[in-house]
Amino acid sequence: MLIDLSKPSPNQGTTSNEFETKVLDFIKEWFSDSKTVKIQSSGSTGIPKIFEVEKSKMLNSAEMTCNFLDLKEGNVALICLPIEYISGKMMVVRSILRKLKLKIAEPSTNPLQNINQEIDFCAMTPLQVENSLDKLHLIKNLIIGGASVSETLKNKIAQSLKPSNSPTRIFETYGMSETLSHIALRQLFPHQEDWFAIFEGVEISLDEKDCLKIFAPKLNSEVLQTNDLVEINNQNQFRFLGRLDNVINSAGAKIFPEELEKLVKQNIPNEVIFLGIEDETLGQKLILIIEGSESESIKQKLSTINYEKSFHKPKDIIFVEQIPRTPNGKVNRLALKKSIEK
Those residues whose C-beta lies under 8 Å from the C-beta of residue 246, and which sit 6 or more positions away, are: 256, 257, 258, 333
Alpha carbon distance 85, 320 (integer Å): 28
% of the chain at pLDDT higher than 90: 63
Mean pLDDT of 32-61: 82
Number of domains in the chain: 2
Q: Give yes or no: residues 271 and 301 share one domain.
A: yes
Identify the CATH number of the domain in which residue 116 sits: 3.40.50.12780
Tens-place pLDDT, residues 108-151:
999 999 999 999 999 999 889 999 999 999 999 999 998 778 77
Alpha carbon distance 106, 80 (integer Å): 6
More confident call, 43 vs 208:
208
Q: Give yes or no: residues 238 and 269 share one domain.
A: no
Q: Which of 194, 210, 243 is the last residue of a domain?
A: 243
Q: Give yes or no: residues 28 and 126 share one domain.
A: yes
pLDDT for 11: 57
pLDDT for 42: 62
Q: Give yes or no: residues 228 and 300 share one domain.
A: no
Q: Give yes or no: residues 228 and 100 share one domain.
A: yes
pLDDT for 17: 87
Tens-place pLDDT, residues 241-252:
888 888 898 888
Q: Which of 243, 267, 289 is the last residue of a domain?
A: 243
Q: Give yes or no: residues 323 and 191 share one domain.
A: no
Mean pLDDT of 158-172: 90
Q: Give yes or no: residues 120 and 258 share one domain.
A: no
CA distances from 185 to 1, 27, 67, 137 (A): 29, 26, 13, 20
Q: Give yes or no: residues 223 and 201 share one domain.
A: yes
Most confident option among 69-83, 229-243, 249-263: 69-83
Q: State yes or no: pLDDT of 44 exceeds 70.
A: no
Q: Give yes or no: residues 270 and 222 share one domain.
A: no
Q: Which of 243, 278, 307 is the last residue of a domain?
A: 243
Identify the CATH number of the domain in which residue 283 sits: 3.30.300.30
Res. 46 pLDDT band, cuts 50 70 90: low
Q: Give yes or no: residues 213 and 276 share one domain.
A: no
Q: State yes or no: pLDDT of 203 exceeds 80.
A: yes
pLDDT for 9: 65
Q: Give yes or no: residues 211 and 67 share one domain.
A: yes
Mean pLDDT of 186-206: 94
Q: Give yes or no: residues 190 and 57 share one domain.
A: yes
Residue-number span of the structural domain to which 186 is assigned:
2-243
Which of these ranges, 14-18, 36-40, 67-71, has the smallest mean pLDDT? 14-18
Question: Which DSSP string corresponds to 206-227?
Answer: E-TTSEEEEE-TTT-SSPEEEE
